[in-house]
Amino acid sequence: MGILVAFKGDEIKCFEETKAYWNAMNFPNFLKLTLVKPIYDKITASSIDNNDLYIGNLVVSNDLRGQGIGTELLKSSFILGRLRSVIEFY
Protein backbone atom coordinates (compact mmCIF):
# COMPACT_ATOMS: atom_id res chain seq x y z
CA MET A 1 0.00 0.00 0.00
CA GLY A 2 2.27 2.85 1.21
CA ILE A 3 5.02 3.79 3.62
CA LEU A 4 6.25 7.03 5.12
CA VAL A 5 9.54 7.11 7.02
CA ALA A 6 10.05 10.16 9.22
CA PHE A 7 12.10 11.09 12.25
CA LYS A 8 12.07 13.93 14.72
CA GLY A 9 15.43 15.73 14.68
CA ASP A 10 16.48 14.47 18.09
CA GLU A 11 15.63 10.87 17.11
CA ILE A 12 17.47 10.47 13.81
CA LYS A 13 19.62 7.42 14.25
CA CYS A 14 21.05 5.54 11.30
CA PHE A 15 20.32 2.11 12.80
CA GLU A 16 16.64 2.80 13.40
CA GLU A 17 16.18 4.21 9.91
CA THR A 18 17.98 1.22 8.38
CA LYS A 19 15.78 -1.18 10.35
CA ALA A 20 12.62 0.56 9.07
CA TYR A 21 13.79 0.25 5.46
CA TRP A 22 14.81 -3.39 5.91
CA ASN A 23 11.29 -4.24 7.06
CA ALA A 24 9.64 -2.35 4.20
CA MET A 25 11.47 -3.38 1.02
CA ASN A 26 13.27 -6.13 -0.86
CA PHE A 27 17.01 -6.64 -0.51
CA PRO A 28 18.26 -5.06 -3.81
CA ASN A 29 16.29 -1.85 -3.15
CA PHE A 30 17.40 -1.87 0.47
CA LEU A 31 21.02 -2.16 -0.60
CA LYS A 32 20.71 0.72 -3.10
CA LEU A 33 19.05 2.90 -0.48
CA THR A 34 21.58 2.21 2.24
CA LEU A 35 24.47 3.02 -0.09
CA VAL A 36 23.04 6.22 -1.63
CA LYS A 37 20.85 7.67 1.13
CA PRO A 38 23.63 8.52 3.64
CA ILE A 39 25.36 10.68 1.02
CA TYR A 40 22.10 12.38 0.06
CA ASP A 41 21.16 12.98 3.70
CA LYS A 42 24.57 14.51 4.43
CA ILE A 43 23.88 17.08 1.72
CA THR A 44 20.18 17.79 2.38
CA ALA A 45 19.43 17.03 6.03
CA SER A 46 22.32 18.68 7.80
CA SER A 47 20.17 21.49 9.22
CA ILE A 48 17.47 19.38 10.90
CA ASP A 49 17.01 20.65 14.46
CA ASN A 50 15.75 18.65 17.45
CA ASN A 51 12.13 19.86 17.12
CA ASP A 52 11.93 19.37 13.34
CA LEU A 53 10.32 16.42 11.60
CA TYR A 54 12.31 15.04 8.68
CA ILE A 55 10.25 13.03 6.21
CA GLY A 56 12.84 10.87 4.52
CA ASN A 57 10.69 8.83 2.20
CA LEU A 58 7.10 8.53 1.06
CA VAL A 59 6.18 5.70 -1.28
CA VAL A 60 2.83 4.40 -2.53
CA SER A 61 2.40 1.28 -4.68
CA ASN A 62 2.11 2.09 -8.38
CA ASP A 63 -1.33 0.51 -8.70
CA LEU A 64 -2.71 2.51 -5.75
CA ARG A 65 -1.41 5.96 -6.64
CA GLY A 66 -3.86 8.79 -7.19
CA GLN A 67 -6.22 7.58 -4.45
CA GLY A 68 -5.06 9.93 -1.71
CA ILE A 69 -2.98 7.38 0.22
CA GLY A 70 0.16 9.55 0.16
CA THR A 71 -1.86 12.57 1.25
CA GLU A 72 -3.30 10.63 4.19
CA LEU A 73 0.17 9.42 5.19
CA LEU A 74 1.42 13.03 5.17
CA LYS A 75 -1.60 14.28 7.14
CA SER A 76 -1.02 11.57 9.74
CA SER A 77 2.66 12.47 10.05
CA PHE A 78 1.73 16.13 10.65
CA ILE A 79 -0.73 15.15 13.38
CA LEU A 80 1.79 12.86 15.07
CA GLY A 81 4.48 15.51 14.74
CA ARG A 82 2.36 18.17 16.40
CA LEU A 83 1.57 15.78 19.25
CA ARG A 84 5.34 15.39 19.73
CA SER A 85 6.01 19.17 19.74
CA VAL A 86 7.43 19.36 16.22
CA ILE A 87 7.95 22.93 15.06
CA GLU A 88 9.05 22.49 11.40
CA PHE A 89 8.41 19.75 8.84
CA TYR A 90 10.96 18.85 6.13
Does the predicted model carry a pTM greater than 0.75? no
Residues near 62 by beta carbon (within 8 Å), at least 6 away in sequence: none
Q: Tell me: the pLDDT tens digits for 3-22?
A: 888 877 777 666 667 777 77
3-class secondary-structure state, position 45:
coil
Q: What single-letter amino acid sits at 48?
A: I
Residue 56 belongs to domain spanning: 2-89
Counted domains in the chain: 1
Least confident of 21-30, 43-52, 68-77: 43-52
